[in-house]
Amino acid sequence: MTALRPERESDTSYGQQSYGVPGAFEDWSGGGTYGASPRPEPQPQSPPSMSGPEQQPYAPQPEPFTPETYASEPEPYPASYEPVPDEPYRRPVVDEETVALRIPDPPPAAGDPMAASAGSSAARHDGPAHGGRAARRKASKRRHGRHGGASQTRPAQESAQEGRRAPLSRVEARRQARARKPGAAVVASRAIGEVFITTGVLMLLFVTYQLWWTNVRAHAQAGQEASSLQDDWANGKRNPGAFEPGQGFAILHIPKLDVVVPIAEGTSSKGVLDRGMVGHYAEGALKTAMPSDKTGNFGLAGHRNTHGEPFRYINKLTPGDPIVVETQDEYYVYKMASILPVTSPSNTSVLNPVPAGSGFTEPGRYITLTTCTPEFTSKYRMIVWGKMVEERPRSKGKPDALVS
């Protein structure tokens, strides 16, 4: 089988041309790249002159070409021919997407940011990726990972460099250990800081206990005492008379301040006041009258802050505000008369039968409320006085001050 070729410009047909005519016979096997066996290259010919084609005969002159001769007697190779060594077979790169013809991708536009980024990423590749776009994409993933392998390989390179470092000598290792060890000033500052932090935490816990937990516990104890007292009155278990220290015998009502607190005998902090109750001055020189007495001053003491703080807002009372003392048989209603904002803790004259500084000038039935001031301190005392205006038996019901 022969390949197609263009016709020669000659007046002689293909089969009638002589062998020596230029162009009559050529190696139609393609130079050995596509034919059966390689043939020696033809000798170069000098270009024809301008006068006309000049024939240069071969030496020796061959016989005229006939198809039978060529088919039966193969032309021998010249003596100078050396066989070309066989090269290893290289398989051509196959496009994974398609083996058909396709239109090449258009060149990226000048202002296209996606093309610029793609070009920059392609420029960073270690080598060219052969094949189609799928092959190039897979090669890029193998080299750099899916989300940028350059940044991921950097820690591995750094660890490899650290592994290649020479081991430290004992002197250098000790020097570096001493450099890493904190100094005395650093240790002292840390210890002082820990002490301050611990102290601050303890103070915070103490303040929380004083301002919050003591009130919770005192309110619970006072409420339990008031309920127990009212139950005893209803059952007739308590009789009027002398009371033991710490024993509850009455209930104080201050409607304006929403205060309902038991009154116990004595003014001790641990047995009475710290339990959220109000204490009656009934000991020694500070002993005061009872509400049932015909004349006298009924003196009470209570906390202004912490432990239930029943007297915290007595400074907000104004003249005419009711103060009610409830006992087993009677309701005693007082009207607030005057206030002494600040006085010395040693000023016991405020508990006299006719209290000094109250504005009262003659004996009567009075009430005196005492507490600490300013708030959260016990440096001074605040005094509030009231005068009895009504005595009402329990059988007649509650007074108007407690109903309205």
Active site residues: 303, 372
For 227, list phi and psi in degrees, rounded to 5. -65, -40
For 319, list phi and psi in degrees, rounded to 5. -55, 130
- Which residues, other chains included, contact 151 with Cβ-Cβ below 8 Å and sequence gap of 6+? none
User: What does 148-182 look like in DSSP terms, one character per residue?
Assistant: THHHHHHHHHHHHHHHHSPPPPHHHHHHHHHHHS-
How far is residue 349 from each of residues 151, 209, 314, 358, measured CA to CA in Å? 87, 35, 20, 10
Asked if 392 and 330 touch (Cβ cutoff 8 Å), the reply is yes
Question: Which residues, in sequence order, are bridge partners of residue 387?
Answer: 335, 366
Distance separating alpha carbons of residues 335 and 389, to the nearest angstrom: 7
User: What does 300-356 look like in DSSP terms, one character per residue?
Assistant: EE--SSSTT-TTTTGGG--TT-EEEEE-SSEEEEEEEEEEEEEE-TT-GGGGSSS-T
Distance separating alpha carbons of residues 248 and 246, to the nearest angstrom: 6
Residue count (the chain): 404
